[in-house]
Amino acid sequence: MAEPRVSSIDGKLAEEFAAPSHVDEVKEKMATFARRHAEAGRRVVLITSGGTKVPLESRTVRFLDNFSSGKRGASSAEYFLDAGYAVIFLHRHRSLHPYSRTFSAVNMLDTLQFNAGEVVVNQQVLPNIAKVLKRYREVTDGKLLLPVDFNTLSEYLHLLKAAAQALSTIGSKAMFYLAAAVSDFYIPASEMPEHKIQSSNGPLQLTMNMVPKILSPLVKDWAPKAFVISFKLETDASILLEKARRALDTYRHQVVVANVLDSRRGYVMVVTPTSQDEVVLSKEDAKNEVEIEERIVTNLTAAHDHFITQQAG
């Protein structure tokens, strides 16, 4: 039997990024989840969400982080579930989570009150709680959502590889929705100081290596039949479309969702090799609390339909 292909990125991953000890166990869970839902006729989306933490010392005191809240991933998960998908939610530990995200800014103690000696929820503080809780229970009772968390860049890379391999068994029914904001830079373990960097040594100069482009083996080797969407964030809108097109050209996947930091809640571009759709929220939408993720998910589930039909034909 032919040996599975090992890309140079695989080698780099094994050598320079420590795998979390539970990676095989999580991979098995994800594979079982994907198989069970595919057998029941469901599609499965793997959503990545939140930022990554890049340590500067091996006994980590300091690290490099980024802005991502995980709102895009968490709200998209809810819309994919509403569209009938089963969801693996690969998210940064403590970033926003589907359903509970709505209440993330609320102090829990302010939501509770005493009523005849019992602690009850104050529904004036949480007006949507019954609706959100009902949907959350439906999703968890149906075992439709599998949350997997990561913290560091190394954990993210290994868990994404495991997810891709786990989902490869369901072919084109798998979608990858890679919305996490992943660091492009890291310090290899061999070059990292063990102990806390001393400020008494003066100003700190860092040289960081480039993180391997994991989209490449994901598309080519790990899940070659899946429908893959990457996200591209820029702060300069004038280079966004060109960067999105370049990514499609380089990695040969299906879609890039392109967005600009300041306008990301109200405007994105869904770019494919042959099209570019603007997804925009109007003032009226914003007033009605429509979220842009609902529109993004509608666009992408239709594109996934089309992709599956093409693959079958």
Residues lying near ligand PAZ in the complex (CB under 6 A): 68-72, 179, 181-182, 231-233, 259, 264
Of the pair 34, 228, the CB lying nearest ligand PAZ is at 228
Beta strand residue intervals within the chain, DSSP E: 44-49, 54-55, 63-64, 86-92, 112-115, 118-121, 145-150, 174-178, 185-186, 209-210, 227-234, 255-260, 267-272, 275-280
Residues 208, 189: Cα–Cα separation, whole Å: 11
Least Å distance, CB 214 to ligand PAZ, is: 12
Residue 46 or 179: the one with the smaller Cβ distance to ligand PAZ is 179
**Closer Cβ to ligand PAZ, 31 or 96, answer by number:** 96
Minimum Å distance from CB 237 to ligand PAZ?
Answer: 13
Closest CB 293 distance from ligand PAZ, rounded Å: 9
Write down the least CB distance from residue 51 to ligand PAZ, Å: 7
C-alpha to C-alpha distance for 23 and 289, rounded to whole angstroms: 38
Contacts 24+ apart (CB under 8 A), 305-308: 307/172, 307/227, 307/254, 308/43, 308/172, 308/173, 308/227
Q: Position 168: which residue type?
A: S
Cα dihedral value 165, 167, 171, 172, nearest 10: -120
What is the nearest approach in angstroms of ligand PAZ to the Cβ of residue 147?
Answer: 16
Amino acid at 235: T
